[in-house]
Structure 1
């Protein structure tokens, strides 16, 4: 049976590379060819790194031929969001702005992936300054959501990364998430988006937006793919760009022991307000699946899920603060004042100007207020390990319906509401596909866990994915090219 490269998991690609059914160079050449064919339509990439990719692929293959295997990512192609430093390349952060900044070295995460043998093939499109949630970009073009022939928003700000993975252009991509910038596009494009605990992956060499919330994360086709990449990055990284020693790796990489049923809560406080009926229906079906999960991992095999509906009163206070002031804008404005105040800057960034009136003292007070509420939002306080809510209250919207200041602002508040609350609460979280609307648009389920509980979060997400069968979903429109290179 022949396999299409664009539908293969990282593990399947790795096995083909190790058995000689596929070479690293042939794989990368196929990926590059596919990107070139699709990108004029999808606008997922702003730069294809062909020379670098082929050079890294040839090195990866030579190492395999000589018996050096760097691990599961050896020879696997990937992309990075356009805010990561790539040596010798201008970091534009999604803008056409009059500044010159050529990266002198790779971002920390890219360096680690290079050491793992992964092959960087390109830089993906992003919302300007990585600061908007719908994915609109008037400079490089708004990436096309692969699930529709008409122009629907991809979500942002890791828009190109989500589109590239959803359209089968790369197996995985690095992104960033400050208020939902990985999970929202993953949800709207029908792929997996993972935001680990703040600081768990290094932000060194990544354009900042709001440093107190900025988080590096991953977009992949399946939970297992995301887990594989995250394990590589986390097990080698302290979060500040330096490498861990063996004792640190042993301490942080292990699954926290759970000796009771896994308590999963669906929170109806705020998270379900103004949510479209089809999303509610998908959530209800997901809860039934979660209630009957069977865990195959030895450490969880004897455990059962216990699902309940709960209220979290502190969420209302957090939502009230979100409406009154913006944590992100208060941090971003001092960092990027020159850009934000430029009269020629794209109007999608106008919301950041709201923080112009904040003094340093105001900004500190805003942070203190948010942190005070966040202390009340540990899931363990509510007898929970996992919280499940819709990743977004509504599926993707037509681009034409939000490409103007007023609807853009209104819809941005809707799309970012659930994901941003997870950032402010300090939870790690992941969005996984949980169904389609009658119009064929993906719906995402967001699972959250307390900080540093990634292992259990990923385990539950993987079990849900396998039980639901949604990991096999691919766009059915002509925008998803099913042809392409295959291997036996």
Structure 2
């Protein structure tokens, strides 16, 4: 049995048609997780619990009952989500509190017939986009034999999907932490508008910006997952993708690597060839990527200090010094500066929505670089967030999807974003775009 490069929904269809069992599927992924343990992306494997749950779901299947279109699908959670009986490490080595109950998302997923297979490693406290974690060990980007950045902070979740260790995973995005690892691992990653997916029972980085979302190989999995998990039950009439805004090169906050720029231009050309009208996006007045990125960083630093400042100040807590200093930066941010950053959000959000006309999306890069070598001071990724953080500040839903590979076979993706609350519009356009261009994620060849 080979389930690689098969969507989660297709696997579930095979389960429903009794071609394969839930136990078979779970065992397939357990075996791969063990086989490729050197990727270092899994923090806890729930082997016995997952097999017990699979047997229960097989009994339901035998009776012709399916809990959802994802009945029997194994899923991996980011390790900032509470799972009863296990430590929620959140990428640290000092947290040792065992969760006494499951997070809200765990319970919801189980009610839909998902099987919680494992928890994935992540950047310490979710504070960083390279995915580097010197203390726990950095998940290995599966597209390279060298140790290259997996992207963060949902590093383990993206690596697990890209390596075929699970068909779908949960990540979290505060400044680009779903979109960046998705782009660098050749998979899809969706950051919804904040708080659309219940985050109760998650260790926060910055509650004003944190957003949970799925990482998968196929757009159909992302879309169906969101329909089942979003907290509001609103629906939207289908909006055809006739045109799309794009970020003009003159407005790039940082130049793209040569091969990424070539792939970007080819992607725009492919959209045009499929009859999709491209419109150069006109930035709203006073819209500056660097400034919005700085405002996002102000909120993250202030709120992360509120959440983790005592731990960072305690020198007995073993922390990566880079993350410790990022958290401690929040101590020096005045309440007035933080409140001003929050107060200005609404004005920027309205201006951004108006710039898109209410029924369009914007496509732009995610990262100006491919996966790269790690550096001790984590400076190599300092400009990646310039493409992602502004859209956390705008509370804009965004989804990364793959567009190609470098000559060294390193994947890269771009992102599609929409105005705050336009998640369903965004996903409809994603579906049409990926279907039209036959774009999907791909499992790395680990042989």
Q: Counterparts of 1:74 and 1:52 in 2: how far apart (Å)?
A: 16
Q: How does 1:76-155 map to 2 (within 5 A)?
A: 76-97=73-94, 99-155=95-151
Residue in 1 aligned with 2:227? 231
- Shift, 1:376, TM fit: 2.2
In the alignment, structure 2 segments of 5+ residues that lack a partner are: none
SS in 1 for 2:196: coil
* Cα distance change, pair 260–219 in 1 and its aligned pair in 2 (3 A): closer
Q: Hey, what's the Cα distance between the residues in 1 that align with 2:264 and 2:113?
A: 38
Shift of 1:177: 0.4
Q: Is 1:346 the counterpart of 2:320 in the alignment?
A: yes
Is 2:188–2:215's contact at 8 Å kept on the other side of the alignment?
yes
Give the aligned partner of residue 362 of structure 1.
Answer: 337
CA distance in structure 2 between the aligned counterparts of 1:269 and 1:199, rounded to whole angstroms: 33
When residues 314 and 335 of structure 1 are mapped into structure 2, their CA distance, relative to the original with a 3 A threshold, is farther
Any idea what the Cα deviations from partners look like across 1:425-478, whole Å, max 9, x if unmatched?
2211100000111111111110001122222212222233233334264424xx
Query: 2: CA distance between counterparts of 1:463 and 1:321?
Result: 30
Listed as ranges, the gaps of 5+ residues in structure 1 are 239-248, 294-303, 482-488
Question: Are the equivalent residues in 2 in contact too, given 1:434–1:468 (CA < 8 A)?
Answer: no
Q: Contact conserved, 1:435 with 1:470, CA < 8 A, in 2?
A: no
What is the distance in 2 between the residues matched to 1:191 and 1:412? 19
**Structure 2 counterparts to residues 123-272 of structure 1, below 5 A:** 123-234=119-230, 237-238=231-232, 249=233, 252=234, 254-256=235-237, 258=239, 261-268=242-249, 270-271=251-252
The residue that corresponds to 1:485 in the other structure is none
> In 2 relative to 1, CA 217–178 (structure 1 residues): closer, same or farther, beyond 3 Å?
same
Deviation by residue 1:292-335 (Cα, 9 ceiling, x = unmatched): 44xxxxxxxxxx63211233144743522534762210111112
SS in 2 for 1:25: helix
1:279 corresponds to which of 234, 253, 260: 260
The SS at the match of 1:104 is coil
Question: Which residue of 50, 58, 63 maps to 1:61?
Answer: 58
The aligned counterpart of 2:387 is 418
Deviation per CA, 1:176-216, whole angstroms, max 9, x where unpaired?
Answer: 10000000000000000001111211111111111110001
Aligned equivalents of 1:113 and 1:260: distance in 2? 31
Correspondent of 1:427 among 377, 396, 399: 396
**In structure 2, what is the equivalent of residue 486 of structure 1?**
none
Tell me if structure 1 keeps the 8 A contact 2:39–2:141.
Answer: yes
- SS class of match (2:213): strand
Deviation at 1:50, TM superposition (A): 0.8
Q: CA offsets, 1:40-93, max 9 Å, x none? A: x10110110112101110111011112221121100111000001111111111
Aligned partners of 2:104, 2:96: CA distance in 1, in Å?
A: 21
Matches of 2:440 and 2:269 in 1, distance apart?
A: 17
Q: Which secondary structure state, in structure 1, belongs to the residue aligned with residue 139 of structure 2?
A: coil
Give the counterpart of 1:463 among 420, 425, 432: 432
| Aligned partner (choices 394, 406, 409) of residue 369 of structure 2 | 394
Q: Per the alignment, do residues 263 and 390 of structure 1 end up closer, same or farther by CA in structure 2, a change over 3 Å counting?
A: closer
Tell me the CA shift for residue 107 of structure 1. Answer: 1.4
Answer yes or no: is the 8 Å Cα contact 2:186–2:402 preserved in 1. yes
Query: Residues of 1 paired with 2:286 and 2:161: CA distance?
Result: 32
Structure 1 residues 288 and 315: alpha-carbon distance in aligned structure 2, compared to 1, 3 A threshold:
farther
Whether the 8 Å CA contact 2:130–2:150 is kept in 1: the answer is yes
TM-score by length of 1: 0.86
Deviation at 1:380, TM superposition (A): 4.5
CA distance, structure 1, for counterparts of residue 419 and residue 117 of structure 2: 34
Q: How far is the alpha carbon of 1:366 from its aligned partner?
A: 2.7
What secondary structure is seen at the aligned counterpart in 1 of 2:200?
A: coil
Moved more, 305-314 or 390-399: 305-314
Residue 381 of structure 1: how far off its partner (Å): 5.1
CA root-mean-square deviation: 2.1
